[in-house]
Amino acid sequence: MVTVDPENAESVMAMKRGLAFYCASPHYHPIADAAGFGEEARRVYDLWQKRDFKGAAAAVSEAFVKKFSVHGGLPTRQAYLKWMKAEGCYPIVYPLPRHANMVEDHFIAMRNMAEAGSW
Protein backbone atom coordinates (compact mmCIF):
# COMPACT_ATOMS: atom_id res chain seq x y z
CA MET A 1 0.00 0.00 0.00
CA VAL A 2 1.27 3.44 -0.86
CA THR A 3 0.69 6.69 1.04
CA VAL A 4 -0.01 9.25 -1.67
CA ASP A 5 1.48 12.23 0.21
CA PRO A 6 3.22 11.42 3.51
CA GLU A 7 3.36 15.15 4.36
CA ASN A 8 -0.44 15.58 4.09
CA ALA A 9 -2.49 14.73 7.21
CA GLU A 10 -5.53 13.71 5.16
CA SER A 11 -3.41 11.39 3.04
CA VAL A 12 -1.82 9.82 6.12
CA MET A 13 -5.27 9.31 7.65
CA ALA A 14 -6.42 7.58 4.45
CA MET A 15 -3.54 5.13 4.92
CA LYS A 16 -4.41 4.66 8.59
CA ARG A 17 -8.04 3.90 7.66
CA GLY A 18 -6.86 1.28 5.19
CA LEU A 19 -4.54 -0.34 7.71
CA ALA A 20 -7.28 -0.29 10.36
CA PHE A 21 -9.50 -2.14 7.90
CA TYR A 22 -6.88 -4.90 7.64
CA CYS A 23 -6.56 -5.03 11.43
CA ALA A 24 -10.33 -5.65 11.56
CA SER A 25 -9.63 -9.13 10.20
CA PRO A 26 -7.93 -11.53 12.63
CA HIS A 27 -6.41 -13.27 9.59
CA TYR A 28 -3.82 -10.48 9.43
CA HIS A 29 -2.94 -10.52 13.13
CA PRO A 30 -0.18 -13.18 12.80
CA ILE A 31 1.60 -10.85 10.37
CA ALA A 32 1.31 -8.00 12.87
CA ASP A 33 2.55 -10.33 15.63
CA ALA A 34 5.58 -11.37 13.58
CA ALA A 35 6.45 -7.72 12.97
CA GLY A 36 6.07 -6.77 16.65
CA PHE A 37 2.77 -4.95 16.21
CA GLY A 38 0.34 -7.60 17.50
CA GLU A 39 -0.90 -5.61 20.49
CA GLU A 40 -1.53 -2.56 18.34
CA ALA A 41 -3.38 -4.59 15.72
CA ARG A 42 -5.64 -6.05 18.42
CA ARG A 43 -6.33 -2.60 19.93
CA VAL A 44 -7.33 -1.36 16.47
CA TYR A 45 -9.41 -4.53 15.99
CA ASP A 46 -11.27 -3.92 19.27
CA LEU A 47 -12.15 -0.35 18.26
CA TRP A 48 -13.26 -1.51 14.81
CA GLN A 49 -15.53 -4.16 16.34
CA LYS A 50 -17.19 -1.39 18.39
CA ARG A 51 -17.79 0.39 15.06
CA ASP A 52 -15.48 3.21 16.13
CA PHE A 53 -13.88 3.44 12.71
CA LYS A 54 -12.39 6.89 13.26
CA GLY A 55 -10.94 5.79 16.58
CA ALA A 56 -9.53 2.64 14.99
CA ALA A 57 -7.81 4.68 12.28
CA ALA A 58 -6.48 7.16 14.84
CA ALA A 59 -5.08 4.24 16.89
CA VAL A 60 -2.81 3.20 14.00
CA SER A 61 0.63 4.55 14.90
CA GLU A 62 3.13 6.22 12.61
CA ALA A 63 5.46 3.26 13.19
CA PHE A 64 2.72 0.85 12.07
CA VAL A 65 2.16 2.93 8.92
CA LYS A 66 5.88 2.90 8.12
CA LYS A 67 6.13 -0.86 8.67
CA PHE A 68 3.16 -1.92 6.55
CA SER A 69 3.10 0.62 3.74
CA VAL A 70 5.32 2.58 1.41
CA HIS A 71 5.31 5.80 3.39
CA GLY A 72 7.90 8.43 2.64
CA GLY A 73 9.65 10.48 0.03
CA LEU A 74 11.62 9.38 -3.01
CA PRO A 75 14.50 7.70 -1.11
CA THR A 76 12.00 5.59 0.87
CA ARG A 77 10.11 4.58 -2.26
CA GLN A 78 13.37 3.71 -4.06
CA ALA A 79 14.60 1.61 -1.14
CA TYR A 80 11.29 -0.25 -1.02
CA LEU A 81 11.35 -1.06 -4.73
CA LYS A 82 15.02 -2.12 -4.62
CA TRP A 83 14.25 -4.43 -1.70
CA MET A 84 11.30 -5.95 -3.56
CA LYS A 85 13.41 -6.48 -6.68
CA ALA A 86 16.18 -8.12 -4.65
CA GLU A 87 13.60 -10.44 -3.07
CA GLY A 88 12.13 -11.33 -6.47
CA CYS A 89 8.77 -9.77 -5.59
CA TYR A 90 6.47 -8.05 -8.06
CA PRO A 91 5.51 -4.63 -6.67
CA ILE A 92 1.80 -3.92 -6.60
CA VAL A 93 1.02 -0.21 -6.34
CA TYR A 94 -2.04 -0.01 -4.11
CA PRO A 95 -2.72 3.63 -3.23
CA LEU A 96 -5.08 4.60 -0.45
CA PRO A 97 -6.54 7.86 -1.75
CA ARG A 98 -8.04 10.80 0.04
CA HIS A 99 -11.82 10.84 -0.35
CA ALA A 100 -11.84 14.16 -2.19
CA ASN A 101 -9.02 13.14 -4.56
CA MET A 102 -9.98 9.58 -5.44
CA VAL A 103 -8.88 9.54 -9.10
CA GLU A 104 -6.06 12.07 -8.86
CA ASP A 105 -4.45 10.26 -5.91
CA HIS A 106 -4.29 6.99 -7.84
CA PHE A 107 -2.33 8.72 -10.60
CA ILE A 108 -0.09 10.54 -8.11
CA ALA A 109 0.79 7.23 -6.46
CA MET A 110 1.56 5.61 -9.80
CA ARG A 111 3.77 8.55 -10.84
CA ASN A 112 5.56 8.54 -7.48
CA MET A 113 6.32 4.83 -7.69
CA ALA A 114 7.34 5.06 -11.37
CA GLU A 115 9.75 7.86 -10.43
CA ALA A 116 11.12 5.68 -7.61
CA GLY A 117 11.70 2.82 -10.05
CA SER A 118 13.92 4.92 -12.29
CA TRP A 119 17.06 4.86 -10.14
Residue 90: pLDDT band with limits 50, 70, 90: confident
Give one DSSP letter per residue of 22-56, joined into a string. HHTSGGGHHHHHHTT-HHHHHHHHHHHHTT-HHHH
Would 101 be classed as within a structural domain?
yes
Whether this prediction's pTM lies above 0.75 is answered by yes
Name 111's Cβ contacts closer than 8 Å, sequence gap at least 6. Answer: none
Q: Is residue 26 part of a domain?
A: yes
| Domain annotation covers residue 4 | no
Residue 1 inside a domain? The answer is: no
Please, what is the end-to-end C-alpha distance for the chain in angstroms? 20
Range 42-65 average pLDDT: 98
Q: What is the pLDDT of residue 93?
A: 82
The count of structural domains within the chain is: 1
Confidence check: pLDDT of 119 > 80:
no
Give tens-digit pLDDT for 24-52.
999 999 999 999 999 999 999 999 999 99
| Residue 72 belongs to some domain of the structure | yes
In a domain, 2, yes or no: no
Q: Is 90 exceeded by the pLDDT of residue 53? A: yes
Candidates 18, 79, 100; CA nearest to 53 is 18
Eight-class DSSP state of 101: G
Of the pLDDT bands very low, low, confident and very high (cuts 50, 70, 90), residue 117 is confident
Would 92 be classed as within a structural domain?
yes
Q: How confident is the model at residue 54 (pLDDT cuts 50, 70, 90)?
A: very high
Q: Which domain holds residue 104?
A: 9-116
